[in-house]
Structure 1
């Protein structure tokens, strides 16, 4: 993807809309929608790196109630011709084809590489990568198993959503974010993962969410790991102007 001078690529992650309750998250949703409305003026593309919702499950004909302002704004932006890319997180990993069908927003279930103005980006949510998250990695295998998803679809949505929302808040293996404290550059496991990926080939930027911490770690003179933070306490986002990548606060 190439884009002209004056245009920018935006990145955001970890909104957890609906947590701890929909009413409590409503002000955060309005702030996020206002940010989307602001950046559409000069956005060449927008990358959302997962956990937009604290829980999301797509039944055959049912999606979770709420989040109308967010979905409407994303539809408006997508319809205007600005591409939006969505990466599932550990809280919304059961996303299927709703975003693609209704909003024309592609959904990625794994980290992917993008070339943006000749800079190589490795982009993903970050859950299950690197040496940490071992308990979650085991649980993710269960949650993504087609049989488990089929069984859950047979639970009435009112019951299934209530169970899932409870576990999403209470179960730290699902959350995967109970240790949102800086571990030191040498111990940050997504930085370790990025260093390992650099052994395969060069990437200019590794962009992840999941850690709920705004982080910038220089991996080598020409490669950087950036964690986007969250929209719960930090309200941070990434912006790439075609040359440099920065973290900013809204």
Structure 2
């Protein structure tokens, strides 16, 4: 990917729109929309690193109600020629082809490597990577199994979506106390994962979400691990203009 010198690349993650309720989520949606509007003229590309929604499931002909402002803005950005890349998180892991067919936005279910202006970026949501967390890893295998998705589709959307939204909020999948506590470099599992990946190949930047905590940590020679934070407590995002910056949106 080659980005024009007068443009920047933006990264954002963990908006969790719809949680804890649609009414309480709306101010955050509007703030994120203001951010997209403010950055549009500078935007050479946009990476959304998962958990844009607190719950998302696509039936064959039905998607969850709401989020029209955000979806409309993403469609407008994409129609204007700005590349957008979406990585599913643990809340919207049941994303299927709606973003692809309706918005023209590719959807990734696994981390991807991008070469951007000669720098190598390893990008993903971050859930299920690194050591430990075996309970979640087993649960994710069940949830992403095609048979599990087939069974869930047999629930009427009014029941299935409401159940999914309830369980998502009930299970603290919107930021819990452990998500906003720095565990130390030696215990941050995405730091450990990044260091392990560096034994296989060099990456200039590891960009993740999921932890809900803004972090910028050197993990090797000329290699940094960036966690983007969230749009619940921090309203932080990443910006690359030849160097990577972790910034807070104040408006």
Interval containing the TM-score (normalised by the shorter chain): over 0.9
Check the 8 A contact 2:57/2:95 in 1, yes or no.
Answer: yes
Check the 8 A contact 1:78/1:104 in 2, yes or no.
Answer: yes
Check the 8 A contact 1:78/1:103 in 2, yes or no.
Answer: yes
**Residue deviations 1:147-171 (CA, integer Å, cap 9, x gap):** 1100100100111111111110122
Alignment correspondent of 1:38: 38
Check the 8 A contact 1:87/1:109 in 2, yes or no.
Answer: yes
Alignment correspondent of 2:243: 244
Check the 8 A contact 2:14/2:209 in 1, yes or no.
Answer: yes
Check the 8 A contact 2:175/2:212 in 1, yes or no.
Answer: no
2:245 aligned counterpart, secondary structure = strand
**Residue deviations 1:54-94 (CA, integer Å, cap 9, x gap):** 00000000000000000000000000000000000000000
Alignment correspondent of 1:64: 64
**Residue deviations 1:95-140 (CA, integer Å, cap 9, x gap):** 0000000000000000000000000000000000001332111110
1:127 aligned counterpart, secondary structure = coil
Alignment correspondent of 1:161: 161
Distance (Å, rounded) in 2 between the aligned partners of 1:74 and 1:246:
23
Alignment correspondent of 1:114: 114
Alignment correspondent of 1:219: 219
Check the 8 A contact 1:177/1:210 in 2, yes or no.
Answer: no
Give the length in aligned residue pairs.
Answer: 248
1:176 CA displacement = 8.4
Matches within 5 A, 1:27-106: 27-106=27-106
1:5 CA displacement = 1.3
Q: Which runs of 4+ in 1 moved over 3 A?
A: 174-178
Distance (Å, rounded) in 2 between the aligned partners of 1:12 and 1:85:
11
Check the 8 A contact 1:112/1:123 in 2, yes or no.
Answer: yes
Does 2:19 align with 1:14? no
Check the 8 A contact 2:56/2:92 in 1, yes or no.
Answer: yes
TM norm structure 2: 0.97
Could you tell which deviates more after superposition, 197-206 or 154-163? Answer: 154-163
Check the 8 A contact 1:215/1:226 in 2, yes or no.
Answer: yes
Distance (Å, rounded) in 2 between the aligned partners of 1:199 and 1:27:
43
